[in-house]
Chain A
Amino acid sequence: MFKDIFRKKKYVTIQSAPMQKLGPSDASPKEPTTSKKELPDGLWAKCPKCGEVLFNKNLEENARVCTKCEHHFRISARGRLALLADENSFEEWDAELVSLDPLEFPGYQGKLMEAMEKSGTTEAVLTGQALLDGIPVVLVFNEADFMMGSMGSVVGEKITRAIEKAIDLRLPVVIFSTSGGARMQEGILSLYQMAKTSAALGRLAENHLLYISVLTDPTFGGVTASYASLGDIAIAEPNALIGFTGPRVIKQTMRQELPAGAQTAEFNQEHGLIDLIVGRAQMRSVLARLLRYHQEGAQYGATV
């Protein structure tokens, strides 16, 4: 009975990737802005931090960073890609991998359909190879609009394949995590994607290849407890909420109120868990510098 609410009798046809032209403007119509409720026309967005009312167009042009207080709004995977990769350099991998419903979990098929419609993508992660300031690199982005970037079989498999391919191609890996954690609807299969991705990163490390983990808002649960925490270098976006257990659950189960500022990028850095906090505007140049240090042969006197 309850299940039926989510069941749709419609097929959705998905084009093969790339589904959209790259460009930050593509991210706008489908992405929920934080202020959607107050400003439903989609023209404006209100900054949740400083309260400034911003033109959505200006916000997009500024990489979805508030022009007044530099608050970082959430951004789609492809929006992020467009900010980082050299033009036309991105080759997407495994776009055809889609989720099944192995547990026949109540409402899951409906949730998947909704997520596809909302995000315009087939799953909660985008993987592939690109040039970043001329440097070849494997890039992975979680998609927040797809079930809050949660990791089920497809996300785990796509990330693992991307890492394995990086080993074959001897390339560094940069993963941008944005995720609520393991995807409940695939049960134990989701849980073991944590082990699978961590094992693949172990192999990458054995091959002396660089892994940069960029943690963005939000990164929690099974993703914090796997690939997001295993970077040789850990970067966070300013103000991003990062943690293992969400504040609401901590409050419910432990009756413990977290202090203001807990679980922010800055809190995590203070506790020794993050190397760098890097704003979106500087991300590309910081990544390029770090990647150059680790290019093969770079240790022998190459100019950085």
Chain B
Amino acid sequence: MVQLFDFEKPIEQLVQKISELQKFSADKEIDLSQEVAVLEKKVAFLKKEIYGNLEPWQKAQIARHPERPNFYDYIPFLFEDFIELKGDRLFADDRSIAGGIALFHGIPVTVIAQVKGKGTKENIKRNFGMPHPEGYHKAIRLMDQAEKFGRPILTFIDTPGAACDLAAEERGQGEAIARCLQAMSGYSVPVISTIIGEGGSGGALALGVGNAVLMLENSFYSVIAPESCASILWKDTTKAKEAAAALKFTAQDLQRLGVADEIVREPLGGAHKDLRQTADELSQVISKYLVRLRSEKPEVLKEKRYQKLRAIGVYQENSKKTLGISEKDLTK
């Protein structure tokens, strides 16, 4: 049984009513097709109404849905072949980051992906998608190989954040992420980063330095988890909904802020409602960007990626008069 959110319940109630009616009609041999048709119309309308106007917090819930497709779910739909390569050659193999080589639309690519588990057992194995330093070291190792062999790099982001425990601190979590950022910024092969679920802070950003940054429609990408933000702002983790709105972390927000290049459509209700359809959309959009980027010269790719990063940020250049806070802003 797929988990339902509160905001989905009106739809579910109607759907149940329809099946009851259909059953009743079949049992008693009464023609209720007109009534059913009316209700079905209403369901379609409700779906559009509800799923078309999701609030940031609702999107975050969809992005974290336990049934949301993870990287392994997408593999058969995105790649003709995939060989997983493991280990950082230093310490261990981190199972919250998967990496390997694959054929994408006939093109050899290197793939790096954060993976959350399905269910408790797998989640423990994958540390709930929270990588340790060895995960980032593995990513760098495999991406360096991509650079060496001239393969484009596709990264897939889905993590609540980097691991935050003593082991991570001892092995240099901060350094591992920083090295990842620096490595990615320096490659001269095309790099495409796609947020497929949760983009949790620095742990997500570590794989997010792409020439193109794509986001699934209901994914989010944030400097801090909405719960933690609420705890800092209002000392109240139950205000995550308000924090989610304040953080401006939806795909639409990020496109407006110059971080996301394109939003990949999801079926109504989210990727978990139709994996194949989501994967097809994803495949098409990635392919479009890959074709475009492969036509660029290596040095141009590197320079453009740098310039993309260079342009992110909003500030005021000249503060001589006042500090950027005008009367107008204050009364808004």
Residues of A within 8 A of B (CB): 2, 7-9, 11-14, 16, 96-107, 109, 112-113, 116, 122, 153-154, 156-157, 160, 182-184, 186-196, 198-199, 201-203, 205-206, 221-222, 224-230, 243-245, 249-250, 253-254, 256, 258-259, 262-263, 271-273
Contacts and interface: CB of A to CB of B under 8 A. Distances in A.
Interface in B152-174: 162, 164-166, 168-174
B52 to A, nearest CB: 23
18 contacts: A11-B323, A14-B319, A96-B318, A97-B317, A113-B325, A122-B319, A191-B221, A194-B205, A195-B208, A198-B178, A198-B185, A199-B309, A202-B185, A202-B186, A225-B177, A226-B177, A227-B178, A228-B174
A14 B249 CA distance: 32
B259 A188 contact: yes
B257 interface: yes
Given A153-B314, A229-B172, A229-B175, A96 B320 contact: yes
A272 B310 CA distance: 32
B223 A96 contact: no
Interface string B304-331: 0110011011111111111111000110
Give chain B's interface residue range (CB within 8 Å of chain A). Answer: 35 or more
B246 A105 contact: yes
Contacts of B309: 192, 195-196, 199
Contacts, number: 223
A271 B173 CA distance: 12
B314 A206 contact: no
Given A184-B229, A196-B309, A202-B186, 4 more contacts: A101-B325, A186-B223, A196-B312, A229-B179
B247 interface: yes
B233 interface: yes
Contacts of A195: 181, 184-185, 205, 208-209, 309, 312
Given A9-B330, A195-B185, A244-B169, A253 B164 contact: yes
B248 interface: yes
Interface of B: 162, 164-166, 168-175, 177-179, 181-182, 184-186, 201-202, 205-206, 208-209, 221-224, 228-229, 232-234, 246-249, 253-254, 257, 259, 305-306, 309-310, 312-325, 329-330, 332
A230 B249 contact: no
Contact of A262 (B162, B166, B206): B166
Given A160-B310, A191-B201, A225-B173, A244 B168 contact: yes
Contacts of B259: 188-189, 192
Nearest to A181: B202
Nearest to B314: A102
A263 B206 CA distance: 22
A116 B202 contact: no
A12 B320 CA distance: 11
A192 B205 contact: yes
A198 B312 CA distance: 13
Nearest to A156: B313
A285 B102 CA distance: 53
A263 to B, nearest CB: 6
A99 B228 contact: no
A196 B310 contact: yes
A16 B320 CA distance: 7
A160 B165 CA distance: 30
A224 B175 CA distance: 7
A226 B181 contact: yes
Given A157-B313, A226-B178, A273-B175, A187 B165 contact: no
A68 to B, nearest CB: 30
A25 B318 CA distance: 29
A90 B323 CA distance: 24
A245 B164 contact: yes
Given A153-B314, A191-B202, A192-B309, A206 B186 contact: yes
A183 B314 CA distance: 13
B294 to A, nearest CB: 22
A235 B306 CA distance: 28
Contacts of B206: 225
A250 B165 contact: yes
A229 B179 CA distance: 8
A113 B330 CA distance: 13
Nearest to B309: A196
Nearest to A184: B224
A249 B166 contact: no
